[in-house]
Amino acid sequence: MSVNAEELNQLHQKEFLQALHNEKIKTQSERADYTKNKLAFVIGLFGLGSLKIGDVESHWILYLIPLVAIGYDLYIRAADVSIKKIGAFLRTNPVTTTNEKEWENFSAKYRDTIAPIANTLFTLVVTIVAAMYIYALEQIRNLLFLGVFISWFIVFFFIILWMWQTHRKIIREIDNTESSDS
The Cβ of residue 73 has, within 10 Å, a number of other Cβ atoms equal to 24
What is the pTM (predicted TM-score) of this model? 0.86
Q: Domain total for the chain?
A: 1
In a domain, 3, yes or no: no
pLDDT of residue 179: 55
Q: For residue 118, tell me if it sits in a domain.
A: yes
pLDDT in tens, the chain (182 residues): 566 888 888 888 888 888 998 999 999 999 999 999 999 999 999 999 988 888 778 889 999 999 999 999 999 999 999 999 999 998 888 888 888 889 888 988 888 888 779 999 999 999 999 999 999 988 888 999 999 999 999 999 999 999 999 999 999 999 988 754 44
Asked whether residue 11 is assigned to any structural domain, the reply reads no
- With CA atoms as reference, report the closest residue to 22 among 68, 82, 70: 82
Start-to-end CA distance of the chain, whole Å, equals: 38
- For residue 18, tell me if it sits in a domain: no
Query: Is there a domain that residue 182 lies in?
Result: no
* Cα 13 to Cα 40: distance, rounded to the nearest angstrom: 41
CB-CB contact of 31 with 76 (8 Å)? yes
pLDDT at 169: 95
Cα 78 from chain centroid (whole Å): 6
Expressed in percent and rounded to 5, the helix, strand and coil fractions of the chain are 80, 0, 15
Range of the domain at 54: 31-175
Residue 147: inside a domain, yes or no?
Answer: yes
